[in-house]
Amino acid sequence: MIKIGDITLKPTKIICLGTNYMDHIEETGLEIPKEPLLFPKTLNCLITNNQPIIYPKYLYNNRRYNRMDYEVELAFIVKDKCKNISAEDAYDHILGYAVFNDVTARKMQTKDIIAQKPWFRSKSFDTFGPIGPIIKNIDEIRDPHNLDIELKVNNEIKQSSNTKYLLFKIPETFEYITKLFTMEPGDIIATGTPGGIGPVNPGDLIEATIENIGTLTNKVILEGEE
């Protein structure tokens, strides 16, 4: 259970899209997907606005893995239990939108990709899924595919794009996902990050903003300094 603004959610899963902006594909050297590239984040990732992102000592003290990145994303929240939803009906099953930060153990992820292993562990550390600052009702966003999206670290812009550049749009993404899984009320789908990814360190302040939704603010702290 997590309270985002005035709304309490009980998600059963977090589904994220990888490589869904062309500039991010180019900066990572990954292939252009032919269909939505999905991966999970576990529920222990979830935190909300103004809660700290914890940099695990396991990563921080390990030269093989000591890089933790931000990734600003538009997320949408599932309204009801549903399966096999057409793209045309997708918006009938969406509660609203939020800012999501897909925090990633980047060196770990890169090594796992090279070794052809899943991305699971690099995405699912505690606090690696900030979401907020509110859930904006679907009726309040005229076009989710024309929203400026930006991320700052210590007031310096690191990512700046617009959701119009999403390769897989929300309706087709929802149709694809609901062919595979039954979605439950409160489930979270994060639509991918634009280019400009980079590392953060303990003490950094991350501000992730999406037009007409707001700014999700989280400070990075080293594990044990809570």
- 93/156 Cα distance (integer angstroms): 36
Helices (H), 115-191: 120-123, 170-180
pLDDT, tens only, 118-162: 889 999 999 999 999 999 999 999 999 999 999 999 999 999 999
Domain encompassing residue 119: 2-222
Question: Residue 55 maps to which CATH number?
Answer: 3.90.850.10
Q: Give the number of other Cβ atoms within 10 Å of residue 1's Cβ.
A: 9
Number of domains in the chain: 1
pLDDT, tens only, 66-123: 999 999 999 999 999 999 999 999 999 999 999 999 999 999 999 988 888 888 999 9
The DSSP 8-state label assigned to residue 108 in this structure reads H
Confidence tier at 223 by pLDDT (50, 70, 90): very high
E strands along the chain, which residues? 2-4, 7-9, 14-18, 37-41, 46-47, 53-55, 68-70, 72-78, 94-101, 104-105, 129-137, 148-153, 156-162, 188-190, 198-200, 205-210, 214-222
